[in-house]
Structure 1
């Protein structure tokens, strides 16, 4: 079995027959000088005739500027819908990200527990985003591909989350305007994600996705995921230029994770030991702003909490996201009982 990651895999893929075929891109960043963090995502669902678009910024004031939409699309030729646009300037080297449109300005981001009420009660302001997003290291991941004697296991589209998936640490430069506030973004570190294939958000019982930038020489991204039957899986990659002397990525073998939650089951602190073949990295996360998002399908409720996080590892300081996805059963996120 090989993992295919060719230049064309950084572009769009032909839609598959599955109704829930999705191809999404995601970008996050945090600018220390500006005190502004954010992320944007667009997932084309061409067989369903719409895209999922999300824009989210964490302001220095503690406010969150947020917008979500499902604009209509025809075909699958670009990530360009609802004022949000992603362009590949050069595969795995440089992308362009832009947005022009309204955002909801939330003094209390947790109001998004009830999105209908939150959109009714909070003001909208104009927003403009324009970023050049350039690679700071090699991409990781790809699409499994059979070699001689191998067989790629077919996954029921109803139970699929992604067929192919790449991640890459990036630096963003440009500008963000939110209402009357303007922010200059200068080589703000972050991560981008690209996935394709059938997807339902209910296909994963729970996961914890940590994207961590600890300066230009150390960073990682990892997913700790669990099944309804109690299974647990960890994957991810890490770069450490001080240790290895170059920008190679090494696989993450395990993560010992402990999370602290408030009374509403929102994570506010993350403690992790990230294990590679050569070293264990103790990492602490302080989640300073958190917004809950919701997806519902066939009576199931999925909650995804997006926590902008200050990360530390020894003398290294940085930022990133701690994204926690849970199916909600009896009013409680299922990953907590599993120790996630």
Structure 2
């Protein structure tokens, strides 16, 4: 589990795998995310469901990276009446055994894009690409310990959080094995691979973070990594993450990251130098195989239009002589047409 700062502790219980009392914050979010990559097929997918019960809707996202470079995507905001389950918009998440086994299923449509970059303008993308029937079943099995949880004061008192500046009250992650299938438009993709899942709960605005670079990856059943480089809102940078090896998590204490970009300022490849709490060092290189640009828009109380861009890329990673797959998820607030993380040098 991630270490908390002095005077605080991180707590996580099996019941946290299930839904929580949303309280009164209007922007309360409880979300679960899963990715998976099959190295043999050079294919992958990710799924996210975020309940916003006090706003009476959920955010459902489904993304598939096909072996030939096509990307399937669907997003919906189905109406929900409470926070009793993770089941909306055709996506359902069942906790079979906390921290051990979870099942994710989807039944609905998938927009299949030969040119995923069209999603920069969703209206154009949805008008110009076919929506095909899709069914997915995936079973996730935990390989690693849990990383993260809810940070509280040393005496167990919850932290005071300003909902308007919050991204999450609690967050945890786990490296997993995953097996199942995705059927789309008569095409069936059998998946047997590895991935990472996470869960967050608490008030969330997507605009609460200036930028981050979240890079989870797997090199097999016994070697994985996740590093996150994030702007702290004050001109500085916060680095975090872990290396999964020999059955344990070794916390990342330093992560140096450099990225290369295309004409749209989307990441094309990256290099990272990682140092862990145990003193081990890793050099990581990543090459983007397929990328889809997503966005979130919100009008601030003062009337300012806020735009967040998230580029979701299936990425081929190399580290310690091993080849693996994962994501490079780059989130940026867009200011005067430019991504803030790129302007910060990341």
* Short-chain TM bin: over 0.9
Q: Indicate whether 1:234 and 2:239 are aligned.
A: yes
Question: CA offsets per residue over residues 267-287 of structure 1, 9 Å max, x none?
Answer: 010100111022110000001
CA distance in 2, matches of 1:210, 1:199: 21
Comparing 21-30 with 9-18, greater Cα deviation is found at: 9-18
CA distance in 1, matches of 2:341, 2:232: 9
TM-score normalised by length of structure 2: 0.94
1:85 to 86, 92, 109: 92
1:322 to 291, 307, 328: 328
Alignment of 1:184-199 (within 5 A): 184-186=190-192, 188-199=193-204
Contact in 1 for aligned 2:177/2:221 (Cα 8 Å): no
Contact in 1 for aligned 2:308/2:332 (Cα 8 Å): yes
Equivalence for 1:332: 338
CA distance in 1, matches of 2:231, 2:90: 35
CA distance in 1, matches of 2:251, 2:232: 22
TM-score normalised by length of structure 1: 0.96
Q: Indicate whether 1:112 and 2:119 are aligned.
A: yes
Equivalence for 1:254: 254
User: What SS does structure 2 have at the residue aligned with 1:249?
Assistant: strand
4+ residue runs over 4 A deviation: 150-153
Question: CA offsets per residue over residues 113-146 of structure 1, 9 Å max, x none?
Answer: 1001111111111111001111011111000122
Contact in 2 for aligned 1:34/1:183 (Cα 8 Å): no
Question: CA offsets per residue over residues 14-40 of structure 1, 9 Å max, x none?
Answer: 112100000000000001223320100
Contact in 1 for aligned 2:48/2:62 (Cα 8 Å): yes
Equivalence for 1:244: none
Contact in 1 for aligned 2:219/2:324 (Cα 8 Å): yes
Q: Indicate whether 1:43 and 2:50 are aligned.
A: yes
The CA RMSD over aligned residues, in Å, is: 1.1
Q: Indicate whether 1:97 and 2:104 are aligned.
A: yes
Contact in 2 for aligned 1:34/1:184 (Cα 8 Å): no
Equivalence for 1:272: 272
Q: Which runs of 5+ in 2 are unaligned?
A: 1-7, 300-304
Alignment of 1:1-340 (within 5 A): 1-148=8-155, 153-186=159-192, 188-241=193-246, 247-277=247-277, 278-298=279-299, 299-340=305-346
- What's the CA shift for 1:151? 6.5
User: What SS does structure 2 have at the residue aligned with 1:8?
Assistant: helix
Question: CA offsets per residue over residues 232-272 of structure 1, 9 Å max, x none?
Answer: 1011111122xxxxx11121001000000001100010100
- What's the CA shift for 1:72? 0.3
CA distance in 2, matches of 1:151, 1:75: 26
Contact in 1 for aligned 2:152/2:159 (Cα 8 Å): no
Question: CA offsets per residue over residues 62-92 of structure 1, 9 Å max, x none?
Answer: 1100000000001111110111000000000
CA distance in 2, matches of 1:46, 1:147: 30
CA distance in 1, matches of 2:268, 2:340: 17
Contact in 1 for aligned 2:210/2:232 (Cα 8 Å): yes
User: What SS does structure 2 have at the residue aligned with 1:230?
Assistant: coil
User: What SS does structure 2 have at the residue aligned with 1:66?
Assistant: strand
Contact in 2 for aligned 1:4/1:145 (Cα 8 Å): yes
Question: CA offsets per residue over residues 260-319 of structure 1, 9 Å max, x none?
Answer: 000110001010011102211000000110000000011010000001000001311100
User: What SS does structure 1 have at the residue aligned with 2:55?
Assistant: coil
CA distance in 1, matches of 2:221, 2:89: 33
Equivalent pairs, count: 333
Equivalence for 2:302: none
- What's the CA shift for 1:227? 3.2
CA distance in 1, matches of 2:42, 2:183: 13
